[in-house]
């Protein structure tokens, strides 16, 4: 195909064959450019064609059990095993494995960026905006209780925890290290 493109450039648009060929090449270049831009704008979805579908099922499970540990069933493991392996290799999920079974104790959603990715796709933007506004407007030296915020905004606790983690990463506050609790102390 490359030699035809070169020939088309030489012949130019003067010939009917050349103009069609140049138009086809321009459209291919445009499609390739669009694909590259999509990968830059949404690198997680571009990891595998089933990432969005798996992420929706995972977010539904997290919402239902209100926990960041999910134990996938055999059907999910069979259908999305490759997606799960890719997400784990990128540090987006964390699993426990044995020689006989992958994710035998489940998978953990402790990457706040992946949780926010799922929220961007599947959560009500107004709720997320209100939650971020609340955390952002918290005066310094004030504690926020994650369970209370999760209940108030009807969001899964892992979502609130992920927001706290992102704010802590920017040195705006501290996420409580207390086992079983999700609390945040605003510093700035």
Whether residue 73 sits in one domain with residue 24: no
Residue 146 has what pLDDT? 96
- Report field, pTM of the whole predicted structure over 0.85: no
7-19 burial: b if 16+ Cβ within 10 Å, else e: ebeeeeeeeeebe
Q: What Rg value do the Cα atoms of the chain yield, rounded?
A: 23
Say which residue the tokens 């095993």 belong to: 81
Q: Nearest to residue 62, comparing CAs of 54, 53, 70?
A: 70
Q: Does 11 have pLDDT greater than 90?
A: no
- Could you list the residue range(s) of the whole structural domain that residue 65 is in? 46-108
Q: Does 127 have pLDDT greater than 60?
A: yes
Whether residue 170 sits in one domain with residue 128: yes
More confident call, 67 vs 33: 67
Q: What is d(CA 175, CA 180) in angstroms, rounded to the nearest whole number?
A: 12
DSSP type of residue 97: -
SS3 label, residue 184:
strand
Whether residue 94 sits in one domain with residue 141: no
In a domain, 115, yes or no: no
Q: Does 145 have pLDDT greater than 60?
A: yes
Give the chain's domain count: 3
Whether residue 55 sits in one domain with residue 32: no
In a domain, 116, yes or no: no
In a domain, 117, yes or no: no
Q: Two tokens at 173?
A: 């506050």
Q: For 53-95, how does the pLDDT look when each residue is reduced to its tens digit (9 = 90+)?
A: 999 999 999 999 999 999 999 999 999 999 999 999 999 999 9
Judge contact between 165 and 172, C-beta under 8 A: no
Residue 116 has what pLDDT? 94
CATH number at residue 181: 1.10.10.10
Residue 12 has what pLDDT? 52
In a domain, 113, yes or no: no
Whether residue 179 sits in one domain with residue 128: yes
The CA–CA distances, whole Å, from 35 to 52, 110, 116 equal 16, 29, 23
In a domain, 114, yes or no: no
Whether residue 150 sits in one domain with residue 131: yes
> In a 10 Å sphere around its CB, with 0-12 CB exposed, 13-18 middle and 19+ buried, how is residue 152 labelled?
middle
Whether residue 141 sits in one domain with residue 98: no
């Amino acid at each position: 195909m490359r030699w035809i493109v070169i020939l088309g450039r030489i012949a130019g648009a003067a010939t009917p064959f050349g103009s069609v060929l140049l138009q086809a090449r321009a459209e291919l270049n445009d499609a390739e450019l669009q694909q590259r831009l999509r990968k830059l704008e949404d690198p997680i979805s571009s990891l595998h064609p089933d990432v969005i579908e798996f992420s929706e099922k995972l977010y539904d499970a997290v919402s239902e059990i209100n926990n960041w540990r999910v134990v996938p069933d055999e059907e999910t493991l069979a259908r999305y095993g490759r997606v799960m392996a890719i997400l784990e290799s990128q540090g987006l999920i964390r699993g426990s494995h044995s020689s006989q079974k992958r994710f035998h104790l489940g998978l953990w959603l402790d990457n706040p960026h992946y949780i926010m990715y799922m929220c961007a796709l599947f959560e009500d933007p107004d709720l997320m905006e209100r939650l971020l506004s609340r955390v952002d407007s918290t005066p310094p030296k004030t504690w926020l209780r994650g369970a209370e915020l999760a209940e108030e905004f009807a969001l899964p606790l892992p979502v609130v925890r992920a927001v706290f983690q992102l704010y802590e990463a920017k040195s705006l506050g501290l996420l409580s290290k207390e086992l079983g609790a999700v609390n945040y102390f605003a510093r700035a």
